[in-house]
Copies of this chain bind each other. A is one copy, B any other.
Amino acid sequence: MTDAPVFRRLCLIGIGLIGSSVARVVRQRGLVGEIVASARSAETRAKVMDLGLADRVEADPATAVLGADCVMLCTPLGAYPGIVRHIAPHLAPGAVVTDVGSVKGCVVKEIGPLIPAGVHLVPGHPIAGTEHSGPEAGFAELFEGRWCILTPPPGADRAAVDKLAALWRGAGSMIEEMSPEHHDRVLAITSHLPHLIAYTIVGTATDLAEDIKAEVIKFSASGFRDFTRIAASDPVMWRDIFLNNKEAALEIMQRFSEDLTALQRAIRRGEGDTLEDLFTRTRDIRRRIVEARQA
């Protein structure tokens, strides 16, 4: 890229799968002038420098944010309030504060009031990931062709939103703006429910006697293994997602449980038509996902 960088200095707080992928892509494409990372553990900080992910790495996020015109929170959601309280007095005037968390209502509600006047909060959520965690797991192409949802609060600074959108577009993403509430309702279905179910089914298998568990592993290629991939995602990150999107997650779980009960009943009664009808209807959504190039 020969264009000027979108931000002069990007500060990444937390540098796992997403943070390290952001670091790689912005570096590779010259999207920012300088990268400063902050990580809690000395081990992660050493890895960040070994992998060349940042120009500088700091233990204290308050030091890391100094002079940054973009600060991106890439830790589990539960860590946000503590971090933001700690960094708030040190944020540069005019800086954009954003994040990559999977729930957005709680960010606006809990983090919004902590942001000083003249600093712009623009929460974000790149719809991308793998089941792997940590700074080694990231890669520059993670966001290519994937959506990134921005949920600017009412009255958000348009220039700040546009700059953040430009950063994500530069990383290969397509941008969509929506309200935090709407985001949380959509993601409850597309992401939170699937993960919860995957964790549950793998948990159900984990509780089986060892002999049958060994066979479940052996013959997992028949469907089960796809769930184990999802259920290998970062535990703390997912704990925080469910604690912070309780309402929407519980509502969709309730619908799912009802649908599952209806299906159980159809099996018990031997209602072949009901089963075939459902199994046929579900193919349509797959077709639309393939057509939307998100398969």
- Residues of chain A whose beta carbon lies under 8 Å from any beta carbon of chain B: 78, 102, 127-129, 131, 146-147, 149, 176, 185-187, 189-208, 212-213, 215-233, 235-236, 238-240, 242-243, 246, 249-250, 252-257, 259-261, 263-264, 267-268, 270, 272, 275-276, 278-289, 292, 294-295
Which residues of chain B come closer than 8 Å to A127, judged between CB atoms? 219, 221-222
> Once the chains are docked, how many angstroms separate the CA of A217 from the CA of B288?
7
A153 to B293, CA, bound (A): 47
Q: Which residues of B contact A102 (CB under 8 A)?
A: 222
Task: Compute how far the CA of A224 lies from the CA of B217 in the bound complex, rounded to whole angstroms.
Answer: 23
Q: Which residues of B contact A267 (CB under 8 A)?
A: 242-243, 246, 249-250, 253
Q: How far is the CA of A268 from the CA of B242 in the complex (A)?
A: 9
CA distance A255 to B264 in the complex (A): 12
> Within 8 Å CB of A242, what residues of B?
267, 275
The answer to whether A203 touches B294, judged by C-beta atoms less than 8 angstroms apart, is no
A186 partner, pick from B215, B270, B284, B286, beta carbons under 8 A: B215
Copies in the complex: 2
B186 touches A212 (CB 8 A): yes
Residue of B nearest to A192 (CB): B223
A130 to chain B, nearest CB (A): 11
Given contacts A176-B218, A189-B204, 6 further A-B contacts (CB under 8 A): A146-B221, A192-B223, A193-B224, A220-B292, A225-B295, A226-B229
7 shortest interchain CB distances as A-B pairs: A191-B222, A194-B223, A235-B279, A232-B286, A202-B282, A190-B224, A228-B286
Given contacts A191-B222, A253-B264, contact A279 B199 (CB under 8 A): yes
B193 close to A201 (CB less than 8 A): yes
Give chain B residues whose Cβ lies under 8 Å from the Cβ of A276. 235-236, 239
A41 CA to B212 CA in the complex, in Å?
A: 40
- How far, in angstroms, from A195 to B226 measured CA to CA in the complex? 11
Contact B239 A268 (CB under 8 A): no
Decide: A285 and B189 in contact? CB cutoff 8 A: no
Q: How far is the CA of A203 from the CA of B276 in the complex (A)?
A: 12
Closest partner residue, chain B, to A258 (CB atom): B204
Contact A289 B194 (CB under 8 A): no
- Subset of 8 A-B contacts with CB under 8 Å: A147-B218, A186-B216, A197-B260, A203-B278, A228-B286, A228-B289, A243-B272, A253-B267
- Is the Cβ of B246 less than 8 Å from the Cβ of A270? yes
Residue from B190, B220, B222, B239 within 8 A of A216 (CB atoms): B190
Tell which of B149, B191, B215, B254 touches A223, judged by Cβ atoms closer than 8 Å.
B191
A261 surroundings in chain B (CB, below 8 A)? 257
